[in-house]
Amino acid sequence: MSKESKDRLALRMKPDTKRKIEQWYKAVGCRSMNQFVERAVNFYVDHLAVQDDSGTLPRAVLSSLNGRLGMFEDRMASLIYKHTVELDMMMGILADSYELTEEDMRRRRAESVRNVKNTNGRIPFEEKIRRLDNGVEDEWPD
């Protein structure tokens, strides 16, 4: 930017504020105290604008978050799809191997729903096998 395109602004400040500017402008990579003050004012104005928007994030941050969440969503959808395919294969193999009646299936589904609710979805396979080996009824404690 050329000197002709800049406006002058008379600014009065406390000596302590001037000392802070002198101390920090080179440390943050500014060529002059004017550049430091201009960057500080722009930063503060952006901060105020964010607060005026009812606490919403700046567009750059929001765009970055949306991009990362989009990537995460795509990855999770891919993993869930693969998991569902494997689960469907396993259910097909089990259905072909055992002759279960509709009543057996309803009972097993109700039991599974109860187990998942009682354990918050954390049913360790090893514990399930241990319970079956010990003859413990196939229900989980509350």
Q: Mark residue 7 as left, alpha or beta (left: phi above 0; alpha: psi -120 to 50; beta: remaining).
A: beta
36, with CB counted inside 10 A (0-12, 13-18, 19+), is buried
| 6: in domain | no
Helical pair 33-52 and 15-24, crossing angle rounded to 10 deg: 100
- Asked if residue 4 belongs to a domain, the reply is no
Is 124 within a domain? Answer: yes
Same domain (yes/no): 138, 109: yes
- Supply the pLDDT for residue 79: 94
51 with 68, same domain: the answer is no
pLDDT at 20: 93
- For 114, the domain range is 100-142
Q: Is residue 46 part of a domain?
A: yes
Instruction: Render pLDDT for 107-142 as a digit per residue (tens, 0 to 9).
Output: 888 988 887 887 777 767 777 777 777 776 555 554
5 belongs to a structural domain: no
pLDDT at residue 126, as a whole number: 78
pLDDT of residue 132: 75
pLDDT < 50 regions, the chain: 142
pLDDT at site 23: 93
Q: In the prediction, which pLDDT does 75 show?
A: 94
Tell me whether residue 68 is in a domain: yes
Nearest to 91, CA basis, from 109, 110, 111: 109
Tell me whether residue 70 is in a domain.
Answer: yes
Quote the number of domains for the chain.
3
**65, 82: one domain:** yes
- Tell me whether residue 63 is in a domain: yes
Please check whether residues 104 and 79 belong to one and the same domain: no
Return the pLDDT at 76.
Answer: 95
pLDDT at 7: 85
23 & 45 share domain: yes
